Structures are given as structure tokens and as C-alpha cells.
Amino acid sequence: MKNFAVLQLSGCAGCEVSLLNADAWVDQYNLAYMPLVTSVHDVPEVDLLLVSGGVRTDEDLYKLRHAVQRAGEVVAVGTCAISGGVANLGDRDEVRELFIAQARRRHVPHLLPKSHPIDAFVEVDRYLPGCPPMSHLFMMVLTGETEKTLARTVCQDCGRKKLRDVRPEHLVGFQTGKVDPDICLINQGYLCIGSSTRGGCGAPCTRAGHPCVGCRGPSDAFIEKESAVWMKSIARVFKGMTDIPEEEIQTGLRSPQLALFLFQFSDYADDKATIRPKEKVL
């Protein structure tokens, strides 16, 4: 029976909870270590190590370096492990200084000056993006399914109707409430970026009437390119489908929270983008 472990660094445990919902693994794989559900305090030798959460404390870094030595294969799971995730927002200069000063404690692990993705320190064999990745994607990682049968973009997963003759002139707010159940969210003036976001999630957000914020990162067409290319593509989609002024789109895309998701693969807080090869990304 294949052995696997889940190392939780600084994160929200959403990835682990999603894994728990993929219950098909229960009698097929031996979960050797995952502190959320097992009382085993050290990572044993395993075939597969899933790492969730970013490297935020010195303890995270120690545990990560220790665990990868015992693993056959290392998978970075979720936005935080892949790009630093939501914690990256704390690395904005105006916030960081205050935060680090306030956070100082004596008897607990110390915070590193900034938050890091795990591939800043260790070799990663595969990436499973999503905030969190859907349960069925976890099963694909466990079974080692490499053939990509997934939709290329969220747009392909979504199934809402695109209309040629409905061209909004302005973005509607992020939280406007009433949403037509069948029509493309861009036709309705929402800042939806499902057209260039990696598919395979099944588009639960857009189907529920909420614009895609890009938590699965860029699709294969953009993942090996710098973030500006991705941004340009989004702007082009809006130009083709709406009469919304380009500045309005750019401002929306660059608001810090949305940017958190948009930029996840280019490490938003960093100047130099880290390129992850598409063969490694599920």
C-alpha cells in the first residue's frame, strides 16, 4: 500500500480539509502522517509528501527541510505552498514593519522576515494549485494520474452563455448580489478572470454566481510566462466582450486582494517571477 504524509506549514488547513473529502483514498493509501488527523509527531519515510502552507516561521523551514529528506516525491499543495499565498499580503512594505514588530514573542517559533513558497528552499516534483485544490484533484495526485483530462481554463469548466450583444460599460462591484444564473459573468460586468485561469476545478465559484478570482493560477498558456502576459490576456478578453475602459479593468485587477490570487504564480511580493514548468503543474 502506498504511503503518504501531509506536512502542514503556515496555512489555513483548507487543503487538508479538502483532502479529507476525497474519501476514496481511505482504504487504498496509508496516511502515515498528518497532524490534523493523526497523532504521529514525526514524518516517517513515505512515497509521497504533500506540503501545504507557506514557510512563515523558522519552525516551518526546519520541518520542511527535515521532511523532504524522507520523501520519495514532494508535491506543493495549494496557493500558500506554491506562492506564499494570502500571507504574501503581509509582505507589503507598509504593513510588514508594523506586523513584525507586533508579532515578536519570546517562547514560540520566530517569524521569518517574509513568507516564502516552499520551492524557495527545496526541490518540488509536482504542483497542485488551488485555494484549496478540489478533492478530485487530490485523488489525481495520489493515483499519479499524469494524463491531463482536465479543462484548460475555468471558462471551459463554467458553461455560462457568452452573449455577443450584451456589452457592459462599467464593472459592477465585487458584491452586487443579483446575478443572472445562465449568462457569462463578464457579460454582466463582473471582473471574472476564468478565461485564463487554470481549469479542472469544475468552476464552482462562477457556477454559484461569483466571479473567478484565479485561485488555480494561470493556465498552461501563461504559466511559463511573466505575469504581464497573463494580465494583458485578461484585458484583451474584456476589450473583446465589453466597452469597459481599460484603466478600470487594470485598477480592478491590481487591487491588492484580487492581485493576491492573480499573481500567485509570479510571487506577487517579489520582483523576480519564479517560473514553474507546466509539466509539473496539475
Binding interface with other proteins (CB under 8 A)? 1, 8, 10-18, 20-21, 23, 26-27, 30-32, 35-41, 56-57, 59, 85-87, 89-90, 92, 94-95, 98-99, 102-103, 105-109, 111, 115, 131-132, 173-179, 181, 204-205, 207-210, 213, 255-258, 260
CB of 61 to other proteins, least distance (A): 13
Nearer to other proteins, 96 or 225 (CB): 96
Cα 237 from Cα 248, distance rounded (Å): 14
Residue 148 CB neighbours (<10 A): 15
CB of 43 to other proteins, least distance (A): 13
Specify burial of residue 177 (Cβ count, 10 A radius: 0-12, 13-18, 19+): exposed
Q: CB within 8 A of 10, min separation 6: which ones?
A: 53, 54, 55, 56, 57, 60, 80, 87, 115
Are 197 and 214 in contact, with CB atoms under 8 Å apart? yes
- Grid-cell match 494524463, residue found: 147
CB of 277 to other proteins, least distance (A): 27
CB of 257 to other proteins, least distance (A): 4
CB of 261 to other proteins, least distance (A): 9
Cell digits of residue 70: 524522507
Nearer to other proteins, 78 or 218 (CB): 78
* C-alpha torsion angle, residues 247, 250, 252, 257 (rounded to 10): -150
CB of 98 to other proteins, least distance (A): 6
* C-alpha torsion angle, residues 218, 223, 229, 232 (rounded to 10): -20
Nearer to other proteins, 14 or 168 (CB): 14
